[in-house]
Amino acid sequence: MKSRSECLREYGSDYYIRQKVHAGELFRIDKGIYSEQEYVPDVALLCYKYPNAVVTMDTAFYLYGMTDEIPDMCTMATKREAAPIIDPRVKQIFMPGEILRIGLTETEYKGFNIRIYDRERMLIELVRYKSKLPYNYYKEIIGNYRRILQQLNHESIRDYAEAMPKCGMIIRTLKSEVY
């Protein structure tokens, strides 16, 4: 993906950008955002459009295959002090800056890089937001985590849990419901 200013540097003028779009060599994906590929997944577009946000919760669980429930919106975490994201495709979660980057990874999704929390951090997020999730949804994801327990980095899970507020509750819940 490219911004309009990147396209201007590459092609020289708006006229040449329009020519590339008309020729089918460049596609306007969103206001001021272009791609050489016709189809760009929403999650990739939103990661490009909001570079300080991280994919989390429902969207991350779906992308990791922990649930087959397709989310209505892309859930993204930002710093508590960040400006609100005014986009009907985004559900924004505000987090303290000191825990925002914990477990952050960049991965490829359908040919595009996205910023997402790793599976270990998502297990912590699942426990943190347990009371805000529907019971059956929570149980489905916990069950899927139990199935892949051997693939997870247990040291990272412990480190992430200790870095979070209310770490005692998180560790107790992990011991009683996951391990």
Q: For each successive 10 residues of the chain (179 residues), what is the average pLDDT?
A: 92 91 93 92 95 96 94 96 94 94 94 94 94 94 94 94 91 88
For the chain, the domains span 2-35, 42-177
144 Ramachandran zone, left/alpha/beta (phi>0; psi -120 to 50): alpha
Q: For residues 154 and 81, give the distance between their C-alpha atoms in angstroms, rounded to a whole number.
A: 31
Contact status, residue 145 vs residue 126, Cβ threshold 8 Å: yes
Which pTM value belongs to this model? 0.89
The pLDDT of residue 178 is 83
SS3 (DSSP) at 77: strand
Q: By the 8 A CB rule, do 41 and 109 touch?
A: yes
- Pairing of the two strands 54-55 and 90-95: unpaired
- Which pLDDT does position 131 carry in this prediction? 92
